[in-house]
Structure 1
């Protein structure tokens, strides 16, 4: 069984959202300093690298991470490629057979250099949410830090996806993943009260 890691590594080099909390790992206890064990400490944003958005991220009444249904993040997923777009709309997805798809992962190739936080990305048109819901899709995954443009103030794609019962996975790495069907595992950490969570997202060949 081949496992394809589609997660961004978390390190000091992982780029956080502007003005958000950067990732830091350091040893609190060190065997080099006479401790019997090494014990590390992590400081990070919940929206760094590969992560899920809980609805509470953009809706005060939305579900928090510990309230999410885990089966949304595990199961058959389809990877498609839509490149060269500023926004992805229904017209861009009509050419794909999405019958029976519950989890859709979109490779946009628009975050070309992950050593820098992007200033522009391919985003989703808000009206795409109704189209996806009609197809039965419950999870959308993108290879960008957001389903909205990075300078969006109203996060309309987030809100419309939530309104149609579609959950969000962001920052996946699909550079070397061929379009097709896979088994997805992208479980959030059970952080009580949280607005999001980093995930270790992987695909398995079916």
Structure 2
């Protein structure tokens, strides 16, 4: 199994020589507030711009330092029917250079999506990977069921402690209040 199989994190070492491997990332990085931005209306190979993020913040509040920010492109829908699997493997949207910088300015800890890469399909310069990983921000890829998660939740993940690993498969869970006035927590494997 590859370090980048299924739902996984990319560690800085994935793109940055001599950077942190997955086994040296602080454990507190893998737990904390998660922000989900709906981007299902993005077209194939479309790069999310800053305006989408600013519109989200105007509606829901600012992204906070230390947040894990995930973009729900709806790409996980291609796993429901085996006949759609080839669609999962091509033309996915991603993050623009400007949106990547905006999130770095917000001092996020993780950025991810439900696609095979945070960069658009066919990217040759990989702006999201290069910028995020250079800054020590983890990248989450192939997350499922983001559509079942509220805008804000608590992300719980743990990677395998692969010595010198450039990434790791993970089990990801989003925890959130079941109702607006409830003390009961719901959780969804993502």
Shift of 1:180: 1.9
Contact 1:55 1:162 in 2 (8 A): yes
Range moving further from structure 2, 193-202 or 68-77: 68-77
Shift of 1:146: 0.6
The residue number in structure 1 matching 2:69 is: 104
Give the 5 Å matches for 1:18-97: 44-85=1-42, 86-96=46-56, 97=61
| Uncovered stretches (5+) of structure 2, i.e. residues with no partner | 178-190
The residue number in structure 2 matching 1:113 is: 78
Contact 2:35 2:63 in 1 (8 A): no
Shift of 1:175: 4.9
- Residue 142 of structure 1: which of 88, 113, 116 is its match? 113
3-state SS in 1 of match to 2:17: coil
Shift of 1:149: 2.4
Measured in 1, the distance between the counterparts of 2:151 and 2:23 equals 30
Measured in 2, the distance between the counterparts of 1:100 and 1:45 equals 32
Measured in 1, the distance between the counterparts of 2:51 and 2:136 equals 21
Shift of 1:198: 0.2
Matched, 1:159 2:130: yes
3-state SS in 1 of match to 2:9: strand
- TM-score for the superposition, normalised by structure 2: 0.78
| Uncovered stretches (5+) of structure 1, i.e. residues with no partner | 1-43
Contact 2:12 2:137 in 1 (8 A): no
CA change 1:159–1:124 in 2 (3 A) is: same
1:141-184: CA deviation from partner (whole Å, max 9, x where unpaired): 21111101233333221001123342211110135414321110
Contact 1:51 1:169 in 2 (8 A): yes
- TM-score for the superposition, normalised by structure 1: 0.72
Count of matched residue pairs: 163
Contact 2:38 2:71 in 1 (8 A): yes
